[in-house]
A and B are shown apart, each in its own frame.
Chain A
């Protein structure tokens, strides 16, 4: 082996060092920013989850409750407890905000948290390419979240037109009801944050790789980061354009989306989905990358089909831009277009399938340790395959025409987003939390978190598929008595997941009181994985590496001398 390249040591400038809270507020350290993202996401996840609870409590019964409430109003008696007794409008606000918070403030930044913390270390960099921009991107999320959450308290309440904000509904209440405008600004800010992060990741991974970290050695998580960043960079401006049209139509007298004045509400939908279909991959591809490491680590094997994994992510990225109108099969498109979008959507199933089989092959023949992280990873495969199967069913136009805007769609995307993305986030947290915080999460509590989560997700969202098949539309606060049983199940499943989330939250807090991890490689996996993040302390020091670490990593591990 060649001798290690000469050390490049950070210049010792005289700069003011803050401590305590000011340190966090002013930090540009990617690890601290990653942790701030993480905690922001945990909090927003709980808020969004509580909103889901409000929705599920309302839907636990078909809405006989309504009549009781109305009778009480008429007779002047006390109104029994009912979450949305005053108006169904509030229910729609809940649905809209639940989705917006979960998408823009939980799942997307949730992956960014890990990309921020782990990717620079994985590639042997000392920080992101633009540390200040990185901090700026994070801090933009705070006003964005505040705008959205406080909009509940303005006149007319929060946005109530769904996270899709289809006009003309999103134009109603122009001038008198600023909730929708606040939502638009919130999306703008979150979008800028996303774009900045994307630029930063692309530049970082392209330029700051340690010598020897060639593209063909790049960890899959870093590859996924690149692809996701490309999607974010290209797609997010399109979302900004779509919601800006709504903003302009609402406030400045334009008519982009008003058919009677030459605009087109369907055009809005096309533009919106041009972002929002790729966005669903923003919400899962980073996890796809990361989970490969989890499978390999706990199976004590190397990742199977590394090259085909990269091609698969690339193919998903590319195809992801070409299938948006499968969300709009009921708008009355030319049949030939429907056929195109159907075939293209089906095609996405192929690279997705390749990834699933590669993961299974990664585990095949291994010596698998079922840590909580690994349990979540296996649970992810089970649930994600069901969700993806739902996607294939929905891609078939004749079937989709019956199922679009029904609870089947809600079931599908919760199965892939909660059964997929959220399970991935849990798995990644259990896997990397020791590295990020220097403390283990409890495996015992983790077991509870996993089983409650897994079963809860399965029950809640499988039951949603049944409601949808039976004909229940989405975004409704009341429904026919026919859908009673499946909705009841969904509510039960919801509570299981929420308990899991609470246990997890408490365990996160408690973890700081556990003994500090003293080894580099607490999972004892790096003899096979040879990944840089396990070849440095837990948590890694400021600036990560005093010298550019040698690649392949064996040298580094030997050098630090605690190879298990």
Chain B
């Protein structure tokens, strides 16, 4: 079970949280084009690697907050409050061979 750090409460087990999708999707003004609106409603990134995501401490303080999580390793490298500056995405470690060979 993942250990998720709530910026308000500290590290807590995963079962207290709910993932809430990709972070920093701005809601466009009502005057936006249909394409922009469709992007806002439906288009989400889902790549291998670090993603900025929203989580909610639903069985704790109830707050929504943002994290940087790696979608392959599940490692959380940052969690920050709504409105706070985005932390940098760490460089992806070189993949390297699946199995290292020694003699």
Q: Do A and B bind each other?
A: no
Seen from chain B, the residues whose Cβ lies within 8 Å of a Cβ on chain A are: none
